[in-house]
Chains A and B, each alone.
Chain A
Amino acid sequence: MISLEKVFVLGGGVTKIGEHWNKSLRDLFVEAALKAAENSNIELRDIEAVYVGNMSSGELQGQEHLGSLMATWLGIPGVAAVKVEAACASGGAVFHQAYLAVASGVYDCVLVGGVEKMTDAVVHDVTAALIMADDAEYTAFTGASFVGLNALVYRYYMEKYSVKQEDIALFSVHDHKYAANNPYAQYPFQVSLEKVLSSPLIADPIRLFECAPIGDGAAVLILCSERFAKERGIKPEVEVAASALATDTISLVDRDDLTTLAATVKAAKKAYKKAGVEPRDIDVMEVHDAFTILGVIHLEDLGFAEKGEGWRLVKEGEIEKDSKIPTNLSGGLKARGHPVGATGVYQVYEIYQQLTGTAPNQVGKAEVGLAQSVGGVGGTVVVNILRRVR
């Protein structure tokens, strides 16, 4: 086994998530990238490689080749640059690839970002783009929407473990509570459980206020090696302790268990081992709750609750700030927002904020934080763990 270089997060920048009718895909990415470079005290020309996470630019903007496009618009054509796509896990996956690029020793300073521009399109075109996360020929062909696939999991989970929808839907209330204090959240306001449960049905039993919204946004981080930091006289505050990616069958039909994401279990196991930590060592985390049911399932699959018991952590206040496992203090996918290919990078940025004491909903003690990014119905899962440098 080759030895890996240490990888540090120097800083980051994000755009507010929302309906940015006046900003294009490239505008959003450049805005976040310029903020990230400034916050990291580097020049854009220090960057050796650019990694762009995105799911649907081809489908929604008619634009591919984002590596070259963004390098051009950042004024650094000539650098290595590629787009990384893994459906809704594109953000987590692009961070994984950028981490490997520095850990391998090939690059000393890289820019990693995610961007999604969803509000150019009408809603049924976005729905068509999102179902591309699953098997086009045998899943999308049936007319299933991505919400619908998660609804199959939701109903099965409720019936298998005899859990009520009102207990699962609480995850949405939780997210909104913290988004209310997050300046870049798409929906910075609180909602009641009654409001969630009386919102329109999208795919039974999933209601509108249980779904991550459609929005535009970009998040960018600057990663560097120990060598780069030393040469610049920089003392990095945050290190990447582990980055692990795992896959599962792309469709639910091939799974033996519908209520667990095997890729989460696999990626988390690898990441915990590499970082030398256990779930109880995690001080703060961001999980990929594209739907309320997923938030509950992730708490179980990441090792914080037994199967069928994840909802209890939410109901009993165990995922609140300064409790057992503070989760989604950004507002999560539901309320911070979910500009698909950017979300995984927002999550890592949020953990970086927590570890440097700059988060909108700052926890008291944060040494180790975890970000989980999910593609499709768990076809890809990335678990990234950051640690404060001592």
Chain B
Amino acid sequence: MMGISAPSVPRVWRERIVKYRLLGSKCADCGKISYPPRRACPRCGSTNLKEISLPKRGKVLSYTVIRAPPRGYLKYSPYIIALIELENGARILAQLTDVNPDEVKSGMIVEAVFRRYREQGEDGIIEYGIKFRPPIT
């Protein structure tokens, strides 16, 4: 199997800044804010975009519990995946952490936290990224 679960150092390394610092882009023409940053706006096609730092708080728009995960994620199952709208309207898909599935509600406020996502087996490296949790700060 190749794909996202295959061991690769450069694939993880080149994404580190965007993923660890939560960078996005804002379209100067239509105002759409996207994560990750783009060269062209996915809403209006403008190339007049500026890279911005995204807010670390948002609310859950929808969520699910993954009980039949893809290869590479089996040992973390079950885990919660949420579609989150950040305070400035940008949307991001991420895992929720430090919360039980039955405590999650649509509309709940969450904050970003730096966490381990997965390991690339015995040959690869550990991949980190942003998850979200109920706010404690």
Which A residues have a C-beta under 8 Å from some C-beta of B?
59, 123-125, 127-132, 136-145, 147-148, 151-153, 155-156, 159, 200-206, 249, 251-254, 256, 258
Instruction: Give the complex CA separation of A9 and B93 in angstroms.
Output: 43
Q: Which of A143, A156, A206 contacts B61 (CB 8 A)?
A: A156
A204: contacting residue among B11, B61, B64, B83, CB under 8 A? B64
- Find the A residue at minimum CB distance from B91: A253
**Across the interface, do A152 and B4 meet the contact criterion of CB distance under 8 Å?**
no
Query: B68, B79, B118, B127: which contacts A202 (Cβ < 8 A)?
Result: B68
Q: Is the CB of A253 within 8 A of B3?
A: no
> B10-47 interface mask toward A, CB cutoff 8 Å, 1 = contact, 0 = none?
01000100000000000000000011100000110000
* Smallest CB separation, A48 vs chain B (Å): 34
With contacts A137-B4, A203-B65 taken as known, whether A124 is within 8 angstroms of B91 at the C-beta atoms is no
Chain A nearest CB, measured from B102 CB (Å): 10
A-B contact pairs, 28 of them (CB 8 A): A124-B69, A124-B70, A124-B71, A128-B5, A128-B72, A131-B70, A137-B11, A137-B36, A138-B93, A141-B117, A142-B94, A142-B129, A143-B79, A145-B68, A152-B61, A152-B81, A155-B106, A156-B61, A201-B67, A202-B67, A203-B68, A203-B81, A204-B65, A205-B64, A252-B93, A253-B83, A253-B91, A258-B61
Contact B3 A155 (CB under 8 A): no
Given known contacts A59-B2, A252-B83, is B65 in contact with A153 (CB within 8 Å)?
A: no
Partner of B4, one of A124, A136, A151, A202: A136
B1 contacts partner chain A, Cβ-Cβ < 8 Å? yes
Instruction: Give me the 7 closest cross-chain CB pairs, A-B, nearest first.
Output: A151-B64, A128-B70, A127-B70, A156-B62, A143-B73, A253-B91, A152-B62
For B122-133 the 0/1 string (1 means CB < 8 A from A) is: 000001010000
Shortest beta-carbon distance, A335 to chain B, in Å? 20
Are A155 and B81 in contact (CB-based, < 8 A)? no
CB pair A140–B67 under 8 Å, yes or no, is: no
Please give me the residue from chain A that is nearest to B130 by CB atom: A142
CA distance A253 to B94 in the complex (A): 11
Binding site for A on B (CB under 8 A): 1-5, 11, 15, 34-36, 42-43, 61-74, 76, 79, 81-83, 91-95, 101, 106, 117-118, 127, 129
A145: which B residues are within 8 A, CB to CB? 66, 68-70
Report whether B67 and A254 are in contact in the complex, using a CB–CB cutoff of 8 Å: no
In this complex, which of B70, B71, B82, B129 has the most chain A Cβ atoms within 10 angstroms of its Cβ?
Answer: B70
Main secondary structure of the interface of A (DSSP, over half): helix
B117: chain A residues at CB < 8 Å are 141-143
Kindly provide the distance from the CB of A265 to the nearest chain B CB, expressed in whole angstroms. Answer: 16
In the assembly, what is the distance between CA of A203 and CA of B66, in Å?
A: 5
Contact present for B91 and A254 (CB under 8 Å): yes
How many angstroms between the C-alpha atoms of A155 and B63 in the bound complex?
7
Interface centre among B35, B36, B69, B127 (most CB of A within 10 A): B69
CB distance from B13 to the nearest CB of A (A): 13
Most chain B CB neighbours (cut-off 10 Å) among A139, A143, A153, A201 = A143
Which of the residues B91, B106, B118 comes within 8 Å of A143, measured between beta carbons?
Answer: B118
- Residues on A with C-beta less than 8 A from B62 are 152-153, 155-156, 159, 258
Beyond contacts A142-B94, A258-B62: 18 other A-B pairs, Cβ-Cβ < 8 A, are A59-B3, A124-B68, A124-B71, A131-B4, A142-B81, A143-B70, A143-B73, A143-B118, A152-B61, A152-B82, A152-B83, A155-B64, A156-B83, A203-B64, A252-B91, A253-B34, A253-B93, A256-B43
Contacts of A200 in B (CB 8 A): 67
For A153, the chain B residues whose CB sits under 8 A away are 62
Q: Which single residue of chain B is at the shortest CB-CB distance from A125? A: B71
> CA–CA, A197 to B4, complex, Å?
33
Q: Which residue from B4, B34, B68, B106 sits with its C-beta under 8 Å from A140?
A: B4
Residues of A within 8 A of B2 (CB): 59
Residue contact A148 to B81, C-beta cutoff 8 Å: yes
Q: For residue A132, which residues in chain B have a CB less than 8 angstroms away from its CB?
A: 3
